[in-house]
Amino acid sequence: MSSPAPKSPELSDKSKKYDRQIRLWGEHGQTLLEAATVCLVNVTAVGCETAKGLVLPGIGGFTVADGSTVKEEDLGNNFFLDSSYLGKSKALACMQLLQELNPDVNGDYVEESADFLLANRPNFFDSFDLVIASNLNEQTLLLLAERLWELNVPFIYCRSLGMLGTIRLQIREHCIVEAHPDNRQFDLRLEHPFDALRDHLDGTEVTSKVPWLLVLHKYLNVWQKQQADGTQTPRNYKEKNQLKEAIREEMKADEENYEEAIKAVNTAFGAGQVPKSLKAIFEDDACEQLNKKSNVFWIMAKALKHFVIHENEGHLPLPGVLPDMTANTDSYIALQHIYRQQALQDADQVYHKCQEYLKQLALPADSIDERSVRLICKEAAGLAVIRGTRIAEEYEKSSRLLPLVEDNELQGNLTAYNFALRAYERFLSECGNIPGECIVEQDIGRLKSIAAKMLSDLGMHATISDDVLHEICRYGGAELHAVSAFIGGCAAQEVIKIITKQYKPIDNTFIYNAITTESVTLKL
């Protein structure tokens, strides 16, 4: 099917430029991305790589904050700095070289450190949709993270040291409508057909030219009559095979729609029910107790819940999407029209309930539009909510950390490296220099002492192996661009997920070891 002609040359150019990513997150996702502004704190290789992954797809704007100047050692690991900027502002250099990648993106810079901004311009971060920082010392990290938590601004913190890298997401609440599940099941309602579908299925002759859905419905009715216990759909391997055989026996030749119906027996039933994840959303206090400050997601979720329970016999709204089927054009389009019309009717009922809630809360009627309601109805089975934790909680005693310890050892090398990197950041705060930069053996002892005290303060009776601490000191603060490029690319993806409200972001810590190419995601 050909795409509709663009409405203007401007739209055509934009679609051509961003075509591949629009296929991933759609025009509405691209619009959200182009309206967003982010702040990059600290010009490092991993920070610049993260920013690159946002500038290329067209982030609305970015601001670089760094109070230092470009030194010779910066040129060896950061492709976004060159010798012409030696002695000049890192923030300016980074901003100019990043902006060259995409002139449509607005770039800005501030020649101040995070410490200075937090102490003298605490409102600086208020206007950003998300903040990215990298390779900070512990004190600065905790101050910045706390400030952003208070502002309810999502925060992504990246570490890149030698062959190690981590990403930590701090976000209060993130509501995902378009989760894009890997194995989406089509909701066909064959076991509970709505009136228009039942009339169409019963009133259409089954031939080799009709969609397989009509074939499956015909033989499902036959199979149902054979079930003494009144079973409506096949529940196990044996029952599914019985239905498949009933269809196969009636095939007269190589009828593709019959073949497709046999294959569909395994996946055509069971959709439309409320999954556990959505049930948890319906039972959440934020859904039950709406107020003027409620996110529109929760208002729509409550309207969706009302529709499911009181108006649709416990079933989700119909998404209105059909899989491809071998059939003549007219019969497929007729079936498609029936599903789409029912989906619009379901969404319309949910929309009117949303308007009722908005009126009760004395909120503007245009706070929720019909397009948003149609989208949440279409994606209802995959709705998700992530509630994050403060980074500062990782530095306090917490029962969440205890499963990471067994037999007085941190579970897995990746976990040990994560805590070693945190000990490295505390070393920066307490000692004022990079471990391993000058006297390696002396720094190893100091780092080991700091790590032991850190774990003890957390209530973790464990140790970090000498090999891991030796590795941290051996790096001497070096940042390898290949590792930073990988971590930066991953972090940019997480930023895009948060801004577009699509796909599920990490929850909440990602750790990568480039030596063994291993990675793990932990909730800390």
User: Average pLDDT over the chain, rounded to whole?
Assistant: 88
Q: pTM of the prediction?
A: 0.87
Which stretch of 53-62, 143-152, 440-449 has the lowest confidence by average pLDDT?
A: 440-449
Residue 427 lies in a domain: yes
Q: Is the pLDDT of residue 210 over 80?
A: yes
Residues 347, 426, single domain; the answer is: no
> Is 185 a member of any domain?
no
CA distance 134 to 160: 8
Q: How confident is the model at residue 506 (pLDDT cuts 50, 70, 90)?
A: very high
What is the pLDDT at residue 408?
47
Residues 463, 461: Cα–Cα separation, whole Å: 7
Radius of gyration of the chain (CA): 28
For the segment 416-425, the average pLDDT, to the nearest whole number, is 85
Residue 39 belongs to domain spanning: 13-175+480-522
- Amino acid of residue 72: E
Are 72 and 155 in a shared domain? yes
pLDDT (0 to 100) of residue 366:
92
Domain endpoint, select from 351, 370, 387: 387
Tokens of 359: 């009126």
Mean pLDDT, to the nearest integer, of 295-311?
94
- Choose the final residue of a domain: 387, 402, 430: 387
Q: Specify if 1 maps to a domain.
A: no
Distance of CA 82 to the CA centre of its chain: 34
Q: Verify that 148 and 197 share a domain, yes or no.
A: no
3-state class (DSSP) for residue 38: strand
Q: How far apart are CA 487 and CA 134, in angstroms?
A: 11
Same-domain check for residues 432 and 381: no
Distance of CA 395 to the CA centre of its chain: 25
Q: Are residues 361 and 297 in the same domain?
A: yes
Give the model's pLDDT for residue 452.
86
Please give the average per-residue pLDDT across 134-147, as a whole number.
90
Distance CA 375, CA 396 (A): 40
pLDDT band, residue 6 (cuts 50/70/90): very low
| CA distances to 53, 153, 297, 374, 376 from 499, in Å | 13, 11, 15, 20, 17
Q: What is the pLDDT of residue 446?
A: 87
Judged against a pLDDT cut of 80, whether residue 401 lies above it is answered with no
57 DSSP assignment: T
* Three-state secondary structure of 329-381: HHHHHHHHHHHHHHHHHHHHHHHHHHHHHHHHCCCCHHHCCHHHHHHHHHCHH
pLDDT over 80 (residue 316)? yes
Nearest-angstrom CA–CA distance, 379 and 316? 10
The reply to whether omega before 513 is within 30° of 0 (cis) is no
In this structure, what token pair is assigned to residue 427? Answer: 């070393």
Residues 6+ apart with CB under 8 A from 201: 193, 213, 214, 217, 218
| Residue 321 and residue 280 share a domain | yes
**Confidence bin at 475 (pLDDT 50/70/90):** confident
Rounded CA gap, 468 and 481, in Å? 21
Which single residue is written with the structure tokens 């003298």? 120
Q: Which residue has the higher pLDDT, 508 or 385?
A: 385
pLDDT band at 500 (very low <50, low <70, confident <90, very high): very high
Residue 148 falls in which region: left (phi positive, over 0), alpha (psi -120 to 50) or beta? alpha
Whether residues 50 and 157 share a domain: the answer is yes
Q: Of 11-20, 97-106, 145-154, 303-312, where does mean pLDDT reach its minimum?
A: 11-20
Q: In this structure, is residue 59 part of a structural domain?
A: yes
Give how far Cα 104 sits from Cα of 9, 34, 53, 110, 327, Å: 16, 9, 14, 20, 45
Return the structure tokens found at 308.
Answer: 């499911």
361 and 421 share one domain: no
| Tally of structural domains, the chain | 4
Residue 411 has pLDDT above 80, yes or no: no
User: Are 447 and 372 within one domain?
Assistant: no
Do 114 and 169 belong to one domain? yes
Q: Are residues 111 and 143 in the same domain?
A: yes
Mean pLDDT of 483-509: 94
- pLDDT tens string 40-96: 999 899 999 999 999 999 999 999 999 888 888 878 778 778 888 888 888 998 899
- In whole angstroms, give the CA distance from residue 113 to residue 404: 34
Bridge partners of 161?
164
Is 161 within 8 Å of 424 (Cβ atoms)? yes
Residues 374 and 279 in one domain: yes
pLDDT of 407 over the 50 cut = no
Q: Of 250, 270, 290, which one is at a domain's C-terminal end?
A: 270
Q: What pLDDT does 425 receive?
A: 86
As a whole number of angstroms, the distance between CA 48 and CA 147 comes to: 23
Which residue did the predictor score with more confidence, 278 or 20?
278
| First and final C-alpha spacing in the chain | 47
Question: Does residue 180 lie in a domain region?
Answer: no
- Could you write out the DSSP letters of every residue in 262-287? HHHTTTSSSTTS--HHHHHHHTSHHH
- What pLDDT digit, counting tens, does each position of 116-137 carry? 999 999 899 999 999 999 988 8
The pLDDT of residue 404 is 67
Does residue 441 or residue 291 have the better pLDDT? 291
Burial of 176 from C-beta contacts in 10 A (0-12 / 13-18 / 19+): buried
